[in-house]
Structure 1
Amino acid sequence: MHVDLLIQNVQIYNSYFKKFIQGNAAILDGKFLYIGKRGTESFEPAEQLDGKGRYLIPGLIDIHLHIESTMVTPETFSYGLIRNGVTTIVPEPHEMANVFGIDGVKEMIKASRDCVADMFYALPSSVPATSMETSGGSIEIEDLDELLRTERIICLGEIMNFVDVITNPDCKTNHILTHIRGQYPHLIIEGHVPKLLDLDLHRMIYSGVDSDHTHQTIEGMEARIAAGMFIEIQEKSMTPEVMAYLIEQDVSEHFCFVTDDVMADSFELRGHLNHIVRKAIEMGMAPEHAIYASTLSPAKRMRMYDRGVIAPGKIADFQLISNLEQLAIDQVFKQGRKVYDKAEGYTAKTSAPAFPAHYYKSVSMPLLTEADFTVSTEAADGRYPCRAMMVKDGSTFTEEQHVDVEVQQGKLNWQQSSHGLIATFERYGKNGNRAYGLIGGDTIKRGAVATTYSHDNHNLLVVGHNPEDMRIAANEVIAKQGGFSVVENGKVIASLHLPVGGILTEAPLEQLAKEVEQLRKAMESLGYRHYNPIMSISTHSLPVSPALKITDFGLIDVNKGEVVPLIVEEALIATHRSM
């Protein structure tokens, strides 16, 4: 019998038994035809491959990620994925949607069509994430319908505004959920439900949201699994306690591994989903179970029944591994065709520019002056408790702290406080909104950092300790139509150009990785103490991530879902009463 490829003498991963079985694999027309002991006595292969006792496992599947988090185009991202054994992903382009709306989603999907890795898109459901911010674009119900009719959509992307879902029946997100459940009852709905428990958690699940990828605890995982929710474990949830639970409990059908956000330097140095799998093995999970959680388990979640397993009739996406514990990849195959070999050259295709011309001119605001970092107030002279966003290493969550700051002649004397200033400026030319707050904790202690890579609205965000450095950093980013700038003593010490929508670059992954590493080191040199300072600062403007964040509307109390003033209200009321 004719086959295209016969691989002999390999340890083949059987997902159904979660174990390896010695044998051969025959492939025909991009799919597995036969797995077993038969060889050339039964098949006439166009090509033969001696597996030399290596391990044959399915291509890895990542069902929750954002390509924009790596700051590259889909084509560059696919290049990085394939050499790390990741053959299928479910990206959600809500970052590009926040900048360009439905057109941004379409352009991301268009840019991925010729990629080697399969990309089945999640439909952005929360653009903007809340009603308390200005974004460049929005996704409305009619946009969802159009995308579901015309594009390769596999699920509704993460429902982020959990506060509104629970507290406001008439909110936009609830209208979207009602529409999807009514018109597309079989569409998978992904969730973002940090820290929710008990009734609030169950109300989210009742609304149709039945997965969570946020930071997990034992208590939270047990509550979610007990209520039928699927857990997507990203690296920040891989604590010793969580991993011990996943290893010891029979919950393999209730979770998978995902990456969510991967910085370019980490992508280049450590890998992608394969890094998560390797780490799970290092933390004591059996390789067979770690592989299951990154292949068949995510495939089942997304109802991709044609992949994620080595079995007859399944797509022949697989990799040959020489060292199982280290997940050392020798070769990667896509639909039975070799697409990567560590012994051969592997270079990325370049086809820039990949986006329409106006995508490179998305920052529409004037240059700033030092006066733009003056915080005016109607409060009388005196000292007032002010809200400060406290950054914490180990998490993108922040805490609210109150710090006394002096007001003189209608100006907040923030430079004389023990905290820095965080400011955000609407950059789409819609309303000119701006907002200010104080910031402390594990952030920079001097200089300034500015960026348009600020989730999810991607307005201009500036953190600093003096107006001059803040002005220079902000104007560097504005002039270059987006990116990052780090300034100390009036000098730019690191800069990252992100010209596509102010959030992406078409530079090669290797080049970007070096620039991101330089950016990270520059931020750390100013005192930033965080496992991922770039992701940390870029989520200061994410009003669905606890607890105190900032948008162009003002400071956001995330748990209450409302804008709160910089000066604590009670202090102002008490002052007015005494006057």
Structure 2
Amino acid sequence: MERTIENLRQYIRAGRALIPADTLILHGNLVNVMTSEIYPADVAIYQDMIVAVGDVSAYQGPKTKVIDASGSYLVPGLIDGHIHSECSKLSITSFAKGIVPSGTTCMVSGLDEYISVSGLEGLKEVFAEIKQSPLKVFWGAPYKTPYTFPTSTISCNFNPEIHAQVQTWPECFGVWETVREAVQELDEDTLGALSLSYKNRLPIFGCAPMARGNDLNGYLCAGVRLDHESYDHQEVVEKLRKGMHMVIRESSVTHFLAENIRAVTEVNPSLARRVSFCTDDVTAKDLVEKGHVDHLVRLAIRAGVSPMTAIQMGTINSAEAYRIDHLVGSISPGRIADILLVDNPSSFNVQAVIANGNLVARDHKLAYDLHAPKRSSLLTSELKCKPVTAKDFEYRVSLANGRAKVLSMEVKGPFVRKRRDVVLDVVDHVVQPDTDQDVLMVSVLERFGINGNKSLAFCSGWGLQAGAMASSAAPDDNNLIVLGTNAEDMAFAVNHLIKEGGGQVVVKDGKVLDFFSLPVGGIVCDLEPGEVAQREDEMNGAARLLGCNLPEPLMYMFFLPITAIPDYAITDVGPVDCIALTTFDPILELVEHT
């Protein structure tokens, strides 16, 4: 995307047909997302840029490649407007293999999970990896890290001083994931980052689930441009009417498209022009079986959105929302040559993908071998935790024997946790988990060798009858999380991850049922998407052997440290009341035996 005096000179000459194009796409039907028209048109590409659309006969030279698009429709490359690719457990290289063949050529991301484990120097390595792939990442600098309230422990804390540096980087296209709580609480670091964004003319990307009324007004006064989280279509409508761009989320575990698209299909079709798509958190299994943003386009069409409008939501609407439409989002002269060959706008089956001017995929497979780079020590997965014992996961109280009334965080879906009061036995000063009541112990351990924090609390909703499971991939801070029915298996699971350098593990009776290694930062791997999809199935199957009946047991678990999710969470500093934004004591009452 670099534009220098020299290459601009060449692009302009190529646009005037003074030098031949590198590639011509002939005989296709252009889906013009700028004018909502479909008509026959050819396309000329020079290096990575579209230089002409329409009659391109003057652009052909003796060495010009020709792609015959007869019978196909030409659609701009798709854009995912908000994605934590790390949650797929796929490295950037592997993620590109998973989404580019489906037509996604661009994504907007904070790459914040990489930052949490490797800091700015590790982030620079990820930027270099991106440049070697066919996937473009428009990076937003996280408004601050960690996102947690109170502040949890990670390897790199974003603050205004860091923002002053990174907001001037060429990779930076905005301020990422600015959560409502940080704005409402007038957090000094957050306001500092936003103030700098005004100076640097960068858009502010939001995260404001359930923001309505006066709270939404105050949030918008901070300058937030768009939001990717709305829980119902009325919320979408209010945000759109108050000037926001809305990014509809359809992830692997939160399925909001059917509800949110009602803002367009039932309330006002004219709202569609400011609506786009994102997947936020996806599994490799979904990428392999469903596709990516192309899947969302098809879902929108099935929900009653016209094919043209759905395609605009996946392309130009997103580009305009993020102020990158001068680069991507349409098939127009001067834009990067990201072009899909699609069978028909209504069925939207991606047949071939051109990214950065090169044919990179056909029939849902990359057209060339793409290899991950060699990793430095910054992105290896050493967990700097000391080995633990069962005593680390015993909730000890002053009462020797009796009963304890406790607050258990009950999962009601991946992004809702509610209060559940339960009474548990206390034996020899230790509060006992209770599988009959579906109450487990859960803990988060700081993994960066900074302070050795360990938290402990109670959770419900997993249905485990035995064993434990643990993960070193756990946004937003990627500390080590473990939950289980007994302290012995929890300790065994944690020590196994420390020994192996990170990943996910399911154990029972002191034995490993399954272990999935995540050698890149302890959060992702370089396996093929299909291999990771198989490992996800196997890990979920191991969790089900413990009695868990959740659709994505490990994913539900590693979302527990996210404090932006109502009403409860847990980080290395303790269990968190996400409404009061403070830690809490899960022991409500102790009663001696009478």
TM-score with structure 1 setting the length: 0.91
Partner SS, residue 496 of structure 1: strand
- Paired AA for residue 149 in structure 1: T
- Contact 1:73 1:111 (C-alpha < 8 Å) held by counterparts: no
Deviations 1:424-455 (A, max 9, x none): 11222222221111111245343211111111
Aligned counterpart for 1:543 among listed residues 559, 563, 579: 563
- Paired AA for residue 259 in structure 1: T
> Which residue number corresponds to residue 526 of structure 1?
546
Partner SS, residue 307 of structure 1: coil
> Which residue number corresponds to residue 23 of structure 2?
5
Structural mapping, 1:102-181, within 5 Å = 102-130=120-148, 131-160=150-179, 162-167=180-185, 169-181=186-198
> Which residue number corresponds to residue 191 of structure 1?
206
Residue 49 and residue 97 in structure 1: after superposition, are their counterparts in 2 closer, same or farther (change >3 A)? Answer: closer
> Which residue number corresponds to residue 407 of structure 1?
426
> Which residue number corresponds to residue 262 of structure 2?
244
Q: 2:63 matched to 1:44?
A: no
Aligned residues: 565
Q: 2:484 matched to 1:455?
A: no
d(CA) in 2 for partners of 1:565, 1:379:
15
> Which residue number corresponds to residue 12 of structure 2?
none
Q: 2:335 matched to 1:314?
A: yes
- Paired AA for residue 134 in structure 2: V
**Larger deviation: 25-34 or 150-159?**
25-34
How far the C-alpha of 1:39 sits from its partner, in A, is 6.2
How far the C-alpha of 1:259 sits from its partner, in A, is 1.4
Deviations 1:232-253 (A, max 9, x none): 1111353533223223421123
Residue 61 and residue 344 in structure 1: after superposition, are their counterparts in 2 closer, same or farther (change >3 A)? Answer: closer
Residue 426 and residue 241 in structure 1: after superposition, are their counterparts in 2 closer, same or farther (change >3 A)? Answer: closer
> Which residue number corresponds to residue 218 of structure 1?
233
d(CA) in 2 for partners of 1:414, 1:528:
16
Deviations 1:261-299 (A, max 9, x none): 121222222222222222222333222111100110111
Aligned counterpart for 2:98 among listed residues 80, 104, 110: 80
> Which residue number corresponds to residue 425 of structure 1?
445
d(CA) in 2 for partners of 1:348, 1:483:
26
d(CA) in 1 for partners of 2:366, 2:137:
24
How far the C-alpha of 1:156 sits from its partner, in A, is 0.7
How far the C-alpha of 1:500 sits from its partner, in A, is 1.9
How far the C-alpha of 1:73 sits from its partner, in A, is 2.3
How far the C-alpha of 1:17 sits from its partner, in A, is 2.9
- Paired AA for residue 322 in structure 1: D
- Contact 2:248 2:257 (C-alpha < 8 Å) held by counterparts: no
> Which residue number corresponds to residue 326 of structure 1?
347
d(CA) in 1 for partners of 2:365, 2:383:
42
Partner SS, residue 456 of structure 2: strand
Structure 2, unaligned runs of 5 or more: 1-16
- Paired AA for residue 206 in structure 2: G
d(CA) in 1 for partners of 2:23, 2:193:
47
- Paired AA for residue 53 in structure 2: I
Partner SS, residue 41 of structure 2: strand
> Which residue number corresponds to residue 477 of structure 1?
497
- Contact 2:444 2:570 (C-alpha < 8 Å) held by counterparts: yes
How far the C-alpha of 1:215 sits from its partner, in A, is 4.2
Structure 1, unaligned runs of 5 or more: none
d(CA) in 2 for partners of 1:33, 1:218:
40
Aligned counterpart for 2:245 among listed residues 210, 219, 230: 230
Residue 48 and residue 99 in structure 1: after superposition, are their counterparts in 2 closer, same or farther (change >3 A)? Answer: closer
Residue 293 and residue 345 in structure 1: after superposition, are their counterparts in 2 closer, same or farther (change >3 A)? Answer: closer
Partner SS, residue 95 of structure 2: helix
- Contact 1:282 1:325 (C-alpha < 8 Å) held by counterparts: no
> Which residue number corresponds to residue 267 of structure 1?
287
**Larger deviation: 190-199 or 558-567?**
190-199
- Paired AA for residue 348 in structure 2: L
d(CA) in 1 for partners of 2:65, 2:75:
19
- Contact 1:109 1:121 (C-alpha < 8 Å) held by counterparts: no
How far the C-alpha of 1:107 sits from its partner, in A, is 2.5
Partner SS, residue 88 of structure 1: strand
- Paired AA for residue 350 in structure 1: H
Residue 170 and residue 289 in structure 1: after superposition, are their counterparts in 2 closer, same or farther (change >3 A)? Answer: closer
- Contact 1:92 1:123 (C-alpha < 8 Å) held by counterparts: yes
Residue 6 and residue 103 in structure 1: after superposition, are their counterparts in 2 closer, same or farther (change >3 A)? Answer: closer
How far the C-alpha of 1:555 sits from its partner, in A, is 0.9
- Contact 1:163 1:559 (C-alpha < 8 Å) held by counterparts: no
> Which residue number corresponds to residue 19 of structure 1?
37
Aligned counterpart for 2:113 among listed residues 95, 104, 107: 95
- Contact 2:308 2:345 (C-alpha < 8 Å) held by counterparts: no
Deviations 1:506-551 (A, max 9, x none): 2333322221221122223433333433321111011121111111
**Cα RMSD after superposing both structures:** 2.5
d(CA) in 1 for partners of 2:433, 2:550:
24
- Paired AA for residue 472 in structure 2: T
Q: What is the percent sequence identity of the aligned residues?
A: 26
d(CA) in 1 for partners of 2:310, 2:465:
40
